[in-house]
Amino acid sequence: MRFLALPTLLLFLMSISGSSPAASVESSVWGKTPAGEEVKIFTLKNAKGMEVKITNWGCYIVSLKVADKKGQFADVTLGFDTLEGYLGKNPFFGCIAGRYANRIGGAAFKLDGVEYKVTANSGKHQLHGGKAGFDKKLWTAKDVTDGVELSYTSADGEEGYPGTLKSTVTYTLTEDNGLQISYHATTDKPTVLNLTNHAYFNLAGEGSGDILGHQLTIPTDRITATDDDLIPTGEIASIKGTPLDFTTPHTIGERIGADFKPLVQGIGYDHNYVLSGSGLKLASTVKDPISGRVMTVRTTEPGVQLYTGNHLNGVPGKGGHIYAKRHGFCLETQHYPDSPNHPNFPSVVLRPGETFQSTTIYQFSAE
């Protein structure tokens, strides 16, 4: 089966090496949806003071507070102070994107010889699951050890996708400042699936300005090449030595304005990097030199999308802050964009009797 769980042995080794979850969990009512449904917010906090707030509306990461090199805490994710900001149209600030995260070209794909047309919400294409994707759903929530488990059942035909899909996303906070996101899904008909978290990070603290001075490393020199609409062509392209190559550390702003076709197409970085290896592997390391905060991303997914907030255009955010272009960056662990239309990409097909499982860990430190 192409969907592989994080091995039990690896989980055991993580637990004895100090990576086991160790957080308190509190919940409260945060508001109501326009339909009158009660929305909750969950606060996870570990012994080192790291704190994460999650809501069961769209599985949004509402805030994530970590210490800098002086021990000062700041919220390093962009977002809103109240539920209302997440209920309306927003740039996917920290949600779970699905049923298919990223893009599906032409808002259509074939599965077992049958063509499925999904909702187009980005020109003629689909982006992040359609007009009412997983970010616009109320998930069923329950406390689990050191975290919160969120579940949603997507009906057969929702946004055009086949099969009743049962998805569970679990957020846990570890004692060594890791936010672990675990995904689990089953279906009653063959379908396609790609889930990710769409948090926008600024390690200097949200509202502190742009992220162009952050130092970034991504341990691969390959991407999925795209056309002008950012739809993959099917080619796995080498970016060695180009402005997209982060195999050695570079600041995000160092080459973002280069006259290089992929950067022109994305109006900056908006590219899926092809990761090597299986199991839990390094996807990226980011450091803010001023605060000293470091974020390391590990994942079982085969790709990670780097997006540098190129379309943020004055969004009113937390504390009266206005989020402008490149005030946050995303590292979305995922299967490749438009995979259903490219048989050479890792498969995103989920069939009855199979289980989708995936793990991503955002680890924080300071130096």
Taking the CB of residue 159, how many other CB atoms lie within 10 A of it?
20
Q: Which of 359, 29, 324 is nearest to 195 (CA)?
A: 359
Q: Which of 113, 114, 131 is nearest to 122 (CA)?
A: 131
Give the DSSP per-residue string, 285-314. Answer: EEE-TTT-EEEEEEESSSEEEEE--TT--S
| C-alpha to C-alpha distance for 150 and 171, rounded to whole angstroms | 8
Taking the CB of residue 37, how many other CB atoms lie within 10 A of it?
11
Q: 């969950």: which residue's tokens?
A: 42
Active-site residue, selected from the candidate residues 125, 332, 335, 342: 332
Omega before 99 within 30 of 0, i.e. cis: yes
CA 238 to chain centre: 24
* Residue 214 near residue 328 (C-beta atoms within 8 A): no
Active site residue 125: no
Q: Quick one: tokens of 203?
A: 């390690």
Would you call 144 helix, strand, or coil by DSSP? strand
Active-site residue, selected from the candidate residues 198, 214, 250, 342: 198
Q: Quick one: tokens of 131?
A: 């007009």
* Residue 29 near residue 39 (C-beta atoms within 8 A): yes
Residue 9 DSSP one-character state: H
Active site residue 198: yes
Active-site positions read 198, 332
